[in-house]
């Protein structure tokens, strides 16, 4: 049977001390919906688990123009936050489709990105949002774009002794809309075969001023499709343009075949879902609050 002791620091400084003190023999524990399952399936556990959910500063959503999310915020809270729903609908949707009610009540946004599986549902929305990840250890603090945080399947940029301490979403312009769509074989309790996040900002005259197209589950790390973004920017939305961008996304995706889908099927889904997501993000941008 796997044996470990759970340490429950009440502040960030104490947590970082404990990480340093037990270096090599300790792991952060958030909701445990990935970590504890790994142990059950035989992955060796360290002697200590550091429960970060009891640290108040890691467990909140702060809004002050930008949005700062504590990594220990659970996915129910992320999906139900009015500010996140209003400004970053795609992130609320990504968080809201993970697992089941029970899983979302435990699973955290920090755990979802730190676990770094290609199908993680908050990854494409965070990538499309140009989110940044703040990390801290006893040695200091650093921040990096979420795109640089994902290094490969189950590999992230954290150094030993570091915790993710905040996920930052930039302030958005008016007339911005976003969406996250995922294709699964079952409606719930299934992992994404493909995940697509699109965020789109319109000019006052309704040309596309800015757009981000991000894909999950089609490569070792979540991807931005820059060629599709370049094609869209500066033009008014049209179905033909969305179709062309979706075709580029299909070419750009490099999926593998596995138990959930063949690579060819994933590519076809990318095309269909990117086209639909651009259309729906565009609709949302039109109906989004306008400063005028
Ligand atoms: C039945 C079931 C269904 C699921 N369905 C989905 C799904 O549909 N979509 C999806 O994306 N995922 C799904 N998952 C996976 C899982 O729920 C998510 O990845 C979840 O967000 C992980 O968060 P957690 O808080 O439970 O992480 P934990 O299991 O506590 O931690 C995961 C990893 O991150 C590290 N970690 C956590 N927080 C930090 C931090 N702040 N700093 C540094 N390291 C940290 C831990 O040490 C560990 O290595 C499912 C899991 C189950 C069991």
Whether ligand 1 lies within 6 angstroms of the CB of 28 is answered as yes
Residue nearest ligand 1's atom 43 by CA: 163
Mind listing the pLDDT tens digit for each residue in 190-206?
Answer: 899 999 999 999 999 99
Query: Is 25 in contact with 47 (CB distance < 8 Å)?
Result: yes
* C-alpha 228 – ligand 1 centre gap (Å): 30
Whether ligand 1 lies within 6 angstroms of the CB of 111 is answered as yes
Mind listing the pLDDT tens digit for each residue in 52-90?
Answer: 999 999 999 999 889 999 999 999 999 999 999 999 999
In this structure, are strands 140-145 and 194-202 parallel, antiparallel, or unpaired? unpaired
* C-alpha 112 – ligand 1 centre gap (Å): 4
pLDDT number for residue 290: 56
Domain ranges of the chain: 5-51, 176-287
State the Cα–Cα distance between residues 72 and 110, nearest whole angstrom.
6
* C-alpha 136 – ligand 1 centre gap (Å): 19
Mind listing the pLDDT tens digit for each residue in 151-193?
Answer: 999 999 999 999 999 999 999 989 999 999 999 988 878 899 9
214 HSE (CA, 13 A, CB side): 30
Phi-psi sector, 2: left (phi>0), alpha (psi -120 to 50), beta:
beta
Whether ligand 1 lies within 6 angstroms of the CB of 193 is answered as no
Residue nearest ligand 1's atom 11 by CA: 120
Mean residue pLDDT across the chain: 95
Query: Is 113 in contact with 146 (CB distance < 8 Å)?
Result: yes
Query: Is 115 in contact with 80 (CB distance < 8 Å)?
Result: no
Kindly state the average pLDDT of the residues 253-259. 89
Whether ligand 1 lies within 6 angstroms of the CB of 163 is answered as yes
Superfamily the domain 176-287 falls into: CO dehydrogenase flavoprotein, C-terminal domain (3.30.390.50)
Whether ligand 1 lies within 6 angstroms of the CB of 34 is answered as yes
Q: Which CATH number is associated with domain 5-51?
A: 3.30.43.10
SS3 of residue 98 by DSSP:
coil
Mind listing the pLDDT tens digit for each residue in 107-139?
Answer: 999 999 999 999 999 999 999 999 999 999 999
Whether ligand 1 lies within 6 angstroms of the CB of 121 is answered as yes
pTM above 0.75, yes or no: yes
Whether ligand 1 lies within 6 angstroms of the CB of 98 is answered as yes
Whether ligand 1 lies within 6 angstroms of the CB of 35 is answered as yes
Residue nearest ligand 1's atom 37 by CA: 111
State the Cα–Cα distance between residues 287 and 37, nearest whole angstrom.
42
Tokens of residue 72, six digits: 């220990």
């Amino acid at each position: 049977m796997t044996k470990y002791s759970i340490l429950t620091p009440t502040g960030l400084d104490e947590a970082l001390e404990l990480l340093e003190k037990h270096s090599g023999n300790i792991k952060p524990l958030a909701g445990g919906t990935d970590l504890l399952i790994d142990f059950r399936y035989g992955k060796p556990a360290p002697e200590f688990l550091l429960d970060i959910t009891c640290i108040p500063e890691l467990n909140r959503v702060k809004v002050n123009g930008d949005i700062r999310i504590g990594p220990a915020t659970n996915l129910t809270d992320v999906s139900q936050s009015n500010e996140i729903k209003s400004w970053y609908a795609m992130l609320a949707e990504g968080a809201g489709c993970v697992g089941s009610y029970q899983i979302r009540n435990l699973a955290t946004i920090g755990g979802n990105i730190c676990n770094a599986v290609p199908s993680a549902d908050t990854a494409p929305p965070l990538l499309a949002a140009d989110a940044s990840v703040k990390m801290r250890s006893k040695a200091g603090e650093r921040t990096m774009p979420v795109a640089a945080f994902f290094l490969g399947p189950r590999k992230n940029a954290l150094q030993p002794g570091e915790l993710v301490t905040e996920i930052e979403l930039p302030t958005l312009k008016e007339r911005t809309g976003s969406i996250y769509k995922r294709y699964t074989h079952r409606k719930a309790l299934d992992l994404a075969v493909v995940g697509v996040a699109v965020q789109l900002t319109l000019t006052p005259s309704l040309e596309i001023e800015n757009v981000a197209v991000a894909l999950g589950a089609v490569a070792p790390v979540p991807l931005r499709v820059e060629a599709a973004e370049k094609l869209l920017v500066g033009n008014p939305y049209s179905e033909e343009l969305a179709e062309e961008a979706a075709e580029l996304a299909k070419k750009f995706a490099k999926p593998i075949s596995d138990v959930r889908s063949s690579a060819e099927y994933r590519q076809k889904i990318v095309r269909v879902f990117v086209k639909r997501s651009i259309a729906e993000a565009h609709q949302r941008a039109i109906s989004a609050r306008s400063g005028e």
